[in-house]
Amino acid sequence: MTDLAHKRIVVTGGAGFLGRAVCRLLRNRGVSDDRLFVPRKKDFDLTVESDVARLYDTARPDVVIHLAAEVGGIGANMAQPGRFFYANMAMGLHLVEHARRRGLDKFVHTGTVCAYPKHCPIPFREDDLWNGYPEETNAPYGVAKKAIFVMLDGYRRQYGLASAVVVPVNLYGPGDNFDPASSHVIPALIRKCEDARLAGAAEVVCWGTGAATREFLYVDDAAEGIVKAAEIMDEPVPINLGGGIEIPIRDLVVKIAAACGYTGHITWDPSKPDGQPRRGLDITRARTLLGWEPKQAFDTGLAATVQWWREQTGSRA
């Protein structure tokens, strides 16, 4: 068991949506601000090896929790497949190699549900990660993140580098990214429905057929799973972090429209991709190894996310 309160910790992506939740939790675990370092991209470009070396020189970490990623929804993945592969591969490659060189106590890597095969049996089990190719629109991102699983396994066996690997499903919650160019499905749909409600629009057009399913995890629950992995794990065994409810996108839109008070018509554009047909995770390993399971009820978390967005935009129900 690693007592994080007495470690110097770097959280890459610590200023982002998930990172802020992880940093809040680390502070609650007793990590003081002078032991917690959050690198900013303007100061440290983690795709550049010399910047990563300088980060380790500056922060002198005992533990690195790697959350930083270049990622977006289906549209962003289709528009930037090369960049998403390069950036995520380069960040992981440099951070793990310099962790090994510095004799880091532990490296925690946050993977992605996009690493699973396109037609993976439901529920996704960690042993199925290599049983097929990911869904095409997000494969470059998913493969890059998954390659670091293999790197950490190799570094554990050859160099003794202690590490942990978690695989979260789609996240949501207050503080999420609502940028239309890069947001994921829940914030994108909340924004669509809120904008339509405020404009009095008769319809909202959604991508795909609505038949694909997804599973969602509240950001604070994800943070708890990541911090538990940092405390408990030394071996890079992939561990799913899931929300426990698989929901068709068509039903999700109905829930979001209701949460926003939007009563117009939902129209589907089947010329746009659905993405992976189904997503739902088996979290048995997380329960067994970490003593973790999600706590936030989905409808409650969704309402909190809508309320947060309204506070940012000054809109009212």
Residues 6+ apart with CB under 8 A from 239: 126, 164, 165, 166, 167, 225, 229, 233, 285, 286, 289, 290
The answer to whether the CB of 105 falls within 8 A of the CB of 81 is no
Q: Exposure pattern of 210-241 as b/e (b: 16+ CB <10 Å)?
A: bebbbbbbbbbbbbbbbbbbbbebeebbbbbb
* 230 and 164 Cβ atoms separated by less than 8 Å: yes
Strand partners, 281: 124
Let me know if 141 is a catalytic residue.
yes
Distance CA 263, CA 213 (A): 23
**Contact, 63 vs 37, CB < 8 A?**
no
Catalytic residue among 141, 172, 218, 262: 141
Closest CA to 138 of 18, 274, 269: 274
Residues carrying an active site annotation: 141
